[in-house]
Amino acid sequence: MTNVNELLKEKLTAENYDRLMAVDNTRIHEFVADAIELTGPETVFVCTDSEEDVKRVRKMAVESGEERPLETPGHTYHFDGPSDQGRDRQATKYLVPETETLSKALNQMERKEGLAEVRGLLKDSMKGRAMILRFLSLGPAGSVFSVPCVQATDSWYVAHNEDLLYRTAYEQFCKIEKDKNVFCFLHSAGELSEDMISVDVKNKRIYMDYTRDTVYSVNTQYGGNTMGLKKLALRLTIRQADAEGWLAEHMFISGVYGPGGRKTYLAGAFPSACGKTSTAMLPGETILGDDIAYFRKINGEFRAVNAEAGIFGIIQNVKEKDDPMIWDILHNPGEVIFGNILVKDKKPYWLGMGEETPDDGVNFSGQWHKGKKDANEKEIPLAHKNARYTVTLTALANCDPELENPVGVPLSGVMYGGRDPKASVPVQQAFDWAHGIVSYGASLETETTFAIIGEEGVMEINLMSIQDFLAIPLARYIRNNIDFVQGIDRPPLVFGVNYFLRDKEGKFTNDVPDKHVWVKWMELRIHGDVGAITCPTGQIPRYEDLVPLFKEVFDKEYTKEDYVKQFTIRVPENLAKIERVEKYHRENVPGSPQEVYDTLEATQKRLNEAREKYGDYISPFDLAE
């Protein structure tokens, strides 16, 4: 490459050159120079934290045609292509040096080969366009949790999303050490159609060179593939956390109120479309984050922050009665970006919104009408199941005031949940930290959903809901979690949740809003205010404790019939699940901690002993005797 400083001077205007040089960091200068030489943009815009620069990003997102305005002031919408509607596992790979190996459960290829391929696709991909350079922070800027990140993209839509989702950090970068390592992300939407949609999706690539903390993304616009600070950065922070002794997790954080107005912070890991955002957004509680959390031990406390500052949420089934906070944001003036919804008369519509929807309009497939079919003769829905909205957390009335606390918040509970139609009860508490990490985290089994490209409804193991994002051995990640609470005075309690348990007729055993009661029960358990029933898989609520909670939260009578339906221990289904989990660990997690096998064996033994005494299906009332 040409001399870095000379190339930057040649390609940048004097103003943008000065802005970049104010960030005195060798790694950043080299990354930007390489990105310019590789992609060949017509101009480079170095975005600072100024209001003028942020406004320019918003303005250009619309002027470029990547976003279009809606009727409500501040609201815009964007469409990704029909084959670019979710995180693409097949196109997302770790670039692994010849001398290293990752778990075979992770998608990967040899580093030199991968770099040659993705850089070949990126070559001259920005010709005739602007490169937008963003300086952003994961975690509160300037905090012990902060991870500095630089993104270069040719998509004003991506840059606009990042304004809402992350902390701008140009001022912090101006104080950065010359040799400080940063995460670097290079993205190009590639060839675009007249509608400003990536067209070369067969050559979509999202490759992660973890040896250089650099991610390359090309021929895609979907946020999970393009916003580097999202799940792509999570893969890098997991490696950094492993090296430095902290944890980076795929979790929400919320503040839950208890008796006397006390507030207790809980975090939760759920695969996409399994209830994570809706749990984080429970009415009457506070939200600190809905997707990615960092954990550190600070002065003997388990402390947590939200890596992000906004929400890139799934909009399907957002209804006024179920999600009042989000509903208000989506219907009132303010900055919101809608993705892959239906638009008619400049109004947005989505699946499961609880209101009448039009029979025609415009969506990700172009002009749409009811009954329209794709090339495979499959009917196209009015909006995509994975349609999204982007908002900043501070726009929410219940945004937690500790969002920017540089030392985070004390965490008292952690929950793991997925779509388990057959085995797990709606809520249960682990016997201890290690039992919870193994039984509810490292054993997390869930049905696949529309948030990931591929077949839906397939049961799969998804360790801690983070397996797709691990760039360290799975066994080491589990070990890191088990060992993390050493030296912590009061480790968080661990809970398993399952909002998707079905009865024999295939109907859900609980209503969608019931999760609020399960969370309230957790809060009471953390403070020792209620008891629990010990069962083979953990500790479950007592009926007499749930009755007042349902009355308090919903003014609803909670019946014994509902309780039995929800909290009956299904012995055959749980034993079958343990067999699948153990098989998965033996085949896919070499060196999985012995605690995993010991815990599964102990649970198996308890289930068999309970079956001998009570039968295959055990009423919680029998266990309470």
E-state strands within 98-239: 108-110, 130-138, 147-153, 167-168, 183-188, 205-209, 214-218
Q: 């999600």: which residue's tokens?
A: 323
Query: Does residue 72 contact residue 333 with C-beta atoms inside 8 Å?
Result: yes
Q: What is the rounded CA–CA span in Å between residue 384 and residue 273? A: 13
Q: CB pairs under 8 A, 24+ apart, for 10-14?
A: 11/36, 11/44, 12/44, 12/46, 13/43
Whether 227 and 161 have beta carbons less than 8 Å apart is answered as yes
Cβ distance 88 to 225 under 8 Å? yes
CA atoms of 143 and 309, how far apart (whole Å): 14
What are the E-state strand segments in 436-577?
445-447, 459-461, 493-497, 533-535, 538-540, 569-570
Q: Is 387 in a helix, a strand, or coil?
A: coil
- Is-contact 350 341, C-beta < 8 A? yes
Nearest Cα to Cα of residue 298 among 414, 409, 404, 400: 409
Question: How deeply is 37 buried, as exposed, middle or buried, from its count of CB atoms within 10 A (0-12, 13-18, 19+)?
Answer: middle
Instruction: Give burial (CB, 10 Å; 0-12/13-18/19+) of 51.
Output: exposed
Report how far residue 538's alpha carbon sits from residue 603's, in angstroms, rounded to the nearest whole number. 9
How many other CB atoms sit within 10 Å of the CB of residue 113? 11
Token pair of 50 as six digits? 């100024």
| Burial degree of 82 (CB within 10 A; 0-12, 13-18, 19+) | middle
Phi-psi region of 267 (alpha: psi -120 to 50; beta: other; left: phi over 0): beta
Angle in degrees, 0-180, between the axes of helices 231-244 and 474-484, rounded to the nearest 10: 60
Q: Which residues contact 561 (CB under 8 A, 6 or more apart)?
A: none
Catalytic residue check, 47: no
Q: Which of 149, 184, 274, 535 is catalytic?
A: 274
Catalytic residues: 274
